[in-house]
Structure 1
Amino acid sequence: MVKKEKKVTRIDPVRTTQPLEQTQEKRVCAYCRISTDSEDQKHSLEAQVAYYSRLIGERNNWIFSGIYADEDRSGTKLNGRDEFQKMMQDCRRGQHDYIITKSVTRFARNTVDSIQAIRELKALGIGIYFEKERVDTLSEKSEQLLTILSSIAQGESENISANVRWSVVRRFQNGTFIISDPAYGYCKDPDGNLIIEPKEAAVVRRIFEAYLGGMGSYTIAQSLQKEGIPTSRKSNGWQEGTVKEILKNPVYEGDLLLQKTCTTEGIPFRTKRNHGELPQYLIRDNHEPIISREEAEAVRKLCTYRKEQQCVKDSEAYQNRYAFSSRIRCGVCGSIFRRQKLYIGKSYEKVQWCCHKHIQDRKACGQKAIREENIERLFTKMWNRMAGNYEEILMPLLAGLKAVPRDPKQERKIRKLNYQIEELRKQSYMLRQVLVDGNIGSAVFIERRNQLDSELETLIHRRQLLEADQFFEQEIMQTEYLLTVFRSRPTRMENYEEEAFLMIIDHATVYPGQKIRFCLKNGLELEESLEEGGLEDGRN
């Protein structure tokens, strides 16, 4: 049989792709970033903003669609880079067609984050042009090249970090390291040496004397808080952990312990406590002590004895010890509930949770404690009701969240804020030019610059709040997550399961009248109540 030759007809494409230069009316934005808050870097950011505003405006086929600029942000991780995240969100909403930036290192120093963001934008049909490398991500060979360049950028960042760590360790070893944040009770002289701060030092002495006198860390913190004694830390006053840190710190006997924390070697860099992973450096008799070595040794022995007798764990481990820790709130005063044991050692020993403010002062909050078994019983009841009807509850909620229209008033407010932010950035750049020209003094420049920075930060924060109110991505994601949880687990829970509680509950609020309102991770609140007794009087 003779094989017949196949006839192939070519069909020419209807549409042809054109390079960016020939495409008309592309909405182009720019992304800039500086990694420190120094004045030189801020001037660099202003120059980048001015350059891209002019560059985009000069192109006939480009429509200026905004500039995103992150100040004092590291490129090793995307978290915290608010302007970068806003740019990505705007791209997902179809507000841009093209992005231009200085280089791969300005975009991101983390290879994984960089490639993921580039791929997502490419899937949306949005290209990125890196000026320094002359790479367009819409070109065919861009990804392999960008992977190499991003890896080089990440390696460069890791090398810089390693060099900084080496320098710090060298200063640890030769005793020339100057701490940036002195411990409570001390301040620094002009040469960076630690000197005693009299008012704070008096509080430190009081803490040591009280502990040696038999008071516990929690009781000491309560008394300091009640008297309104200020702390030097950005915290909610005196806490038990704060007092423990002071009691354990060798700085108060004149010694300086270095490298109590360490930074991870790989990207993203994280700071964590040094639990023996790296050597520490102790400089004895480094500065004037606040308490004697004999007092410090006595405190250490007393602390060790109490731990052995009471099996007390440190506060960080305790906070994560129980599923209900920090998740049970008071419906009367808003405080967190604490775990308590009743009739310890008896056959009828019970566990209850009680309002922290009620424990401190019954007159301050009249909320009563609730037994742990009743919290578990109410959660199980709520789960079973929800598991049997989750689609009827969550599906309409999900559809409603996705169908929420944009508020025109919110849109106008956001546009107004965008305009004000751009104007402030222009003023900041012009102010810099005036200083360079010698038409303004340094003191006046710094004062005005600080004022502009403060106003800019306020406007950006207001814009973020408006955008958070307008869109419900987080609620949508959490609702979809809850649907997945309920679909993958049994519809009936016979006994309380801690894993289920942690999977779906954000927090639970206890109200008078034996009621608990469970708040799911998507914000949905469901209330359950006991049919009969189950509440106990709070005990101190």
Structure 2
Amino acid sequence: MAKKITKIDPVKQQVVRQLQPKKRVCAYCRVSTDSREQQNSFTAQLEYYTTLIENKEDWQFSGIYADEARSGTKLAKRDDFLRMLKDCEDGKIDMIITKSLTRFARNTVDSIEAIRRLKALGVAVYFEKEHIDSLSEKSELMLTILSSLAQGESESISTNSKWAVIKRFKDGTFILGTPAYGYTKDENGELIIQEEEAAVVRRIFREYLNGKGTYAIAKDLSEQGLPTIRSAEKWNDGVIKEILLNPIYTGNLLHQKTMTTEVLPFKRQINKGQLPQYLVEDNHAPIISHEQAEAVREIFEYRRKQMGVDDTNKYQSRYAFSSRILCGECGGMFRRQKIYIGKPYEKTQWCCRQHILDNAKCSQKAIREDDIQWAFTVMWNKLVSNYTEILTPLLDTLKKLRMNEQQEQEIGECSNKIMELTEQGHILSRLVSKGYIDPAVFIERQNALTIELATVKKKRSQLLDNNGFDIEIAGTEQLLELIRNNPHVIEEYREDLFLQAIDKVIVQKNGQITFRLINRLELSEPCRKEALEDDAKAYAHRI
């Protein structure tokens, strides 16, 4: 008996052919330098791919994605490449054309990950030079090999470039590409003093030696509108520190202060002794004396030790309040300051960064660190003493309000649709078992039902996952557990409790300190000064 065989096309392909008869094709181009030759190449690629795609009758032009002056070794810095991937995920593209694998990516890991990501979406990548379609059966092996070769070529080029640079370091022939602030280059590439900028450099050293800090110096220079390094909008303390510690201003050049990693992805790092450095003494005219530079380094070292800064880490121990204190007036972040350094009454305070830069834009005053600690201690003791009246009812309410009416309605609709589709599947099974419909038709309809059922289930899962108050509920449960483990009031500030319980601290204009807990509940306490005044008024009133 002859067997009857019927081909059943995938449902998704049928839908795509009906709704989108033409293949949506885009092109990806990249040039890695800003040279005129590369710019001409870039323009030529744009014209070529636009014409190529538009001349194909069964292709629909979906745009050109192009990254100018971008290295193929770093995927994260290629904006148009990332935008193209996003459009593929949104179902806007069916095929990508690119000149070669090296134009796509020189990093093996990034290349293979991107191709597999596109392959899972059903998006083909066609490499013209290699004649490879990423959706073909043999593409994976070939693309892996070619990507490895491309990466090896990049690493080889990098190694050769480093060797050439180091050779010029050793024989003293290296010429700086961009001179440091205060210097320019003559026709031979030698450093000469730029007097207008050099006057600013001398001022920076003079004011630092007279006791002014780097933040204050940067603020004054910005307020006076003095030209900044490389046309930046304003001066900052990091730039001031670089100038103060750069040996170039004493007439010396220090090469290889930074280094690049050996393998992809290439990363620029500070050279902390991993590689040799090359000091060229008396290379050019100095702006400041060796004695001034040495005095600056001594002051900088003293202040560094006072602030607890380490050589290997930015801080020996991260401050508990770092990146947690917000300004209630401008919304800016607070930074740590030490006042009266070296005096018996030395104190630590936190001040709004915007206020430090321009007190006309933010009038928020600084707050002492021990005042914040005191306010937290008071707030914590109140919370511990009353958590059964605050946190326990809050948790019950949050669970009841877990989903709003619209979400609840949508989830109900999805559940009903799932039941309906499931029932349709059972009916189809009964019909085919009794011979009322052809098996081929049954399979086609069953596949369509399966796809629709999966879509509805996915939507319901997303609604259940994003139905609100997850963070609040989880945070409240963590707070309750923290209080159960620490059930007693505390006599002094405990940093471990602060770090576990507090998300942000908001310093209000009226002197209130608001603590935003990890469950987003906000509790406020007056600053210690205001609290003491209130106690005094209450006592006077009682008398």
TM-score (norm 1): 0.69
For the residues of structure 1 that align with 2:116 and 2:178, how far apart are their CA atoms?
Answer: 42
How far apart in 2 are the matches of 1:42 and 1:82? 18
Select 1:182's aligned residue among 179, 184, 187.
179
Matching residue within 133, 137, 147 for 1:136: 133
Is the 8 Å Cα contact of residues 384 and 492 (structure 1) preserved in structure 2? no
Letter in 1 for 2:7: P
Q: By how many angstroms is 1:338 displaced? A: 2.4
Corresponding residue for residue 13 of structure 1: 7
Once the two structures are aligned, what percentage of the paired residues are identical? 50
- 2:363 is aligned to 365
Structure 2 counterpart of 1:158, from 155, 159, 169: 155
State yes or no: 1:530 paired with 2:524. yes
Alpha-carbon offset, residue 256 of structure 1 = 0.8
Following superposition, the deviation at residue 107 of structure 1 comes to 0.9
Assess, with a 3 A threshold, how the Cα gap between structure 1 residues 397 and 203 changes in structure 2: closer, same or farther: farther
Residue 265 of structure 1: how far off its partner (Å): 1.2
Count residues with an aligned counterpart: 450
**Aligned equivalents of 1:243, 1:348: Cα separation in 2:** 28
2:482 to 486, 493, 498: 493
Q: Tell me, in whole angstroms, the C-alpha distance in 2 between the residues paired with 1:117 and 1:344.
A: 54
| Bigger mean CA offset, 77-86 vs 527-536 | 527-536
State the AA in 1 paired with 2:9. Answer: R
1:32-71 mapped onto 2 (5 Å cutoff): 32-71=29-68
Who wins on radius of gyration, i.e. which is larger?
Answer: 2
State the SS of the aligned residue for 2:279: strand
Q: Out of 328-337 and 490-499, give the one that drifted further.
A: 490-499
Q: Which range moved further: 231-240 or 94-103? A: 231-240
Other-structure match for 1:115: 112
CA distance in 2, matches of 1:91, 1:503: 42
| In 2: Cα distance, 1:72 partner to 1:47 partner | 15
Query: How many Å separate the matches in 1 of 2:405 and 2:296?
Result: 57
Q: Is 1:240 equivalent to 2:237 in the alignment? A: yes
Identify the match of residue 507 of structure 2 among 502, 506, 510. Answer: 510
Sort the Cα spacing of 1:200 and 1:313 in 2 relative to 1 into closer, same or farther, 3 A.
farther
Q: How does 1:344-493 map to 2 (within 5 A)?
A: 352-356=349-353, 365-367=363-365, 369=367, 371-373=371-373, 492-493=481-482
* More displaced stretch, 235-244 vs 391-400: 391-400
Instruction: In structure 1, list runs of 5 or more residues that go unmatched.
Output: 1-6, 404-472
Residue of 246, 251, 262 corresponding to 1:249: 246
SS in 1 for 2:159: helix
When residues 121 and 244 of structure 1 are mapped into structure 2, their CA distance, relative to the original with a 3 A threshold, is closer
Pairwise CA distance, 1:286: 0.8
Against the structure 1 CA distance between its residues 122 and 337, is the aligned structure 2 distance closer, same or farther, given a 3 Å change threshold? same
Partner residue in 1 for 2:69: 72
Question: Quick one: which amino acid aligns to residue 482 of structure 2?
Answer: M
Task: Tell whether the 8 Å contact from 2:352 to 2:364 is kept in structure 1 after alignment.
Answer: no
> What is the CA–CA distance in structure 1 between the aligned matches of 2:470 and 2:188, rounded to whole Å?
55
1:88 partner amino acid: L
1:289 maps to a residue whose letter is: P
**Unaligned segments of structure 2, at least 5 residues:** 15-19, 412-461, 487-493, 532-543
Deviation, structure 1 residue 89? 0.9
Work out the CA distance in 2 between the residues paired with 1:102 and 1:11: 43
The RMSD of aligned alpha carbons is 4.7
Aligned AA (1:369): I
The 8 Å contact of residues 319 and 326 in structure 1, kept in 2 or not, is answered as no
Query: Does the residue aligned with 2:76 lie in a helix, a strand or coil?
Result: coil
Partner of 1:446: none
- Structure 2 partner of 1:145: 142
The letter for the 1-side match of 2:118 is L
Q: Which amino acid aligns with 1:166?
A: W
| 1:199-278 equivalences in 2 (<5 Å) | 199-233=196-230, 235=232, 237-278=234-275
Structure 1 residue 318 displacement after superposition: 4.8
2:48 partner letter: Y
CA-to-partner distance for each residue in 1:396-433, whole Å, 9 max, x for gaps?
69979x99xxxxxxxxxxxxxxxxxxxxxxxxxxxxxx
Q: Report the CA distance between 1:25 and its aligned residue.
A: 1.9
**Larger CA deviation: 388-397 vs 35-44:** 388-397
Aligned equivalent of 2:489: none
Query: TM-score, normalization: structure 2?
Result: 0.69
Deviates more, 1:345-354 or 1:132-141: 345-354
Distance 1:348 1:279, change over 3 A: closer
